[in-house]
Amino acid sequence: MNGVSAQAGAGWRLRCYVRLAKPRVLTLILFCAVIGMLLATPGAVPLATLAAGTAGIALVAGAAAAFNCLIERRLDALMARTRARPLPQGEVGAVETLLVAGLAGGAGMLLLLHGTNALAAVLTLATFVGYAVVYTVLLKPRTAQNIVIGGASGAMPPVLGWAAVTGEAPVEAWLLFLIIFVWTPPHFWSLALYRTRDYAAAGFPMLPVVRGRRYTQRSIVAYTLALAAASVLPAAVGMSGWIYLAVVLPLDARFVWLAWRVLRSDSDALAQRTFRYSITYLSLLFAALLVDHYLAP
C-alpha cells in the first residue's frame, strides 16, 4: 500500500509540475516551433534534430512559465483565472519550483546545444530571459504596453524551430515572428477585456485597466488590421502560395469582423469569443503554411 501511495503521490506531483509549465500555452508554442522546423527545409527534417529541438524548446519554455508562476504567485492568488495554479494553492513550494524550473531549463539548453546547434540554443536562452525576466519582472507590472513589447518573446517559437534545423534565422523565419508578434495584442487584449477586474485586483496595468475599455477596443481593431496585412506577407515574398492564401484570407476576414463587433459592443462574452477564435486563427494559419509547403506546386 505504501508503494501505491508513493506512486500516486509522485504522479500527483508530476501533474503539478506540468501545470506550472502552462500546458495549453506550451502546446501552441511547440506547434509553432515544430512548423518552423518543417518549413525550414524542402525535405524531411532529421528525426534526431526534430526530437532534440522539440524537447529542448519545450523544457526551456516550460521552465520560463514556471518562473513566471513563481514570480507572480502572490498576485495569481488574487485573480480568479490563476488562483487555482499550484503555487497559490500551496501544492508546490517556491524553492521546489525554482529547482524544478532550473533543472528543466538546464536540460533543455543541453539538448539544444548538443542535439541542434548553438544559434538555436542562444536564441532560446534569449527568449527565456525575455519572458521570465524582461516581460514578467520589468514590463508586466509597470506598463500598459507590456503585451506589445513582451510579445517579442512569445513570437520567437518559429524562429527557434527554424534555427534548430538550419543553424540560421532568415527573413522567412522573421516573417513568422512578425505574424505572431502582431497577433499577440488582440489575442491578449480580448482576454483582458473580460478579465479587467481580475487584472485590476492584482494591480497589473493592463490596457483596459489603465486606458479604459474603449481605447482597448480600438486598439484591438488596429492590431487585427495590421495582422491581416502581415498574414499575407508569406505569399507576397513567395514563401507560400494559393493554398495558404485560400485559408488565411477567410481567417483574416472573420478576425476583423469579430474585432469590429468587439468595438461596437461591451459584451464580455463576445470578447471571450474573440480570444478563443484568436487561438484557432493562429493554429489554422500555421497549419495552412505547412500544408502549402508540402502540397503547393
Question: Is the domain of 102 the same as that of 192?
Answer: no
Q: Residues 242-249: what's their mean pLDDT?
A: 97
Question: Is the domain of 163 the same as that of 262?
Answer: no
pLDDT at 153 over 80: yes
pLDDT of residue 6: 47
Q: Residues 222-230: what's their mean pLDDT?
A: 98
Question: Is the domain of 145 the same as that of 267?
Answer: no
Query: How many domains, the chain?
Result: 2
Cβ-proximal residues to 227 (8 Å cutoff; 6+ apart), any chain: 179, 182, 183, 186, 252, 255
Question: Is the domain of 142 the same as that of 280?
Answer: no
Question: Is the domain of 15 the same as that of 162?
Answer: yes
Which residue blocks in 72-212 are alpha helix, DSSP H? 73-76, 94-115, 118-129, 146-154, 157-166, 171-194, 196-202, 207-210
Evaluate whether residue 236 is within a structural domain: yes
- Tell which of 132, 167, 202 closes a domain: 167
Question: Is the domain of 189 the same as that of 143?
Answer: no
pLDDT digits (tens, 9 = 90+) for 100-134: 999 999 999 999 999 999 999 999 999 999 999 99
Residues spanned by the domain of 151: 11-167
Question: Is the domain of 225 the same as that of 186?
Answer: yes
Indicate the pLDDT class of residue 150, thresholds 50, 70 and 90: confident
What is the C-alpha separation between 21 and 31, in angstroms, rounded? 15
Question: Is the domain of 146 the same as that of 174?
Answer: no
| Cα dihedral sign, 82-86-91-92 | negative
In the structure grid, which three cell numbers stand for residue 292, read together?
502549402
- Tell which of 150, 167, 184 closes a domain: 167
Contact 189, 147 (CB under 8 A): yes
Contact 152, 130 (CB under 8 A): yes
- At 43, is the secondary structure helix, strand, or coil? coil
Q: Residues 210-236: what's their mean pLDDT?
A: 97
pLDDT of residue 8: 52
Evaluate whether residue 24 is within a structural domain: yes
pLDDT of residue 297: 64
Residue 77: CATH number of its domain: 1.10.357.140
pLDDT at 273 over 70: yes
* Percent of the chain's residues with pLDDT above 70: 97
pLDDT of residue 43: 87
Question: Is the domain of 188 the same as that of 294?
Answer: yes
Evaluate whether residue 182 is within a structural domain: yes
Contact 260, 221 (CB under 8 A): yes
Evaluate whether residue 260 is within a structural domain: yes
Question: Is the domain of 159 the same as that of 176?
Answer: no
Question: Is the domain of 160 the same as that of 205?
Answer: no
- Tell which of 167, 184, 201 closes a domain: 167
Evaluate whether residue 3 is within a structural domain: no
Question: Is the domain of 116 the same as that of 239?
Answer: no
pLDDT of residue 277: 98
pTM of the model: 0.94
Evaluate whether residue 179 is within a structural domain: yes
Mean pLDDT (the chain, rounded): 94
Residue 242: CATH number of its domain: 1.20.120
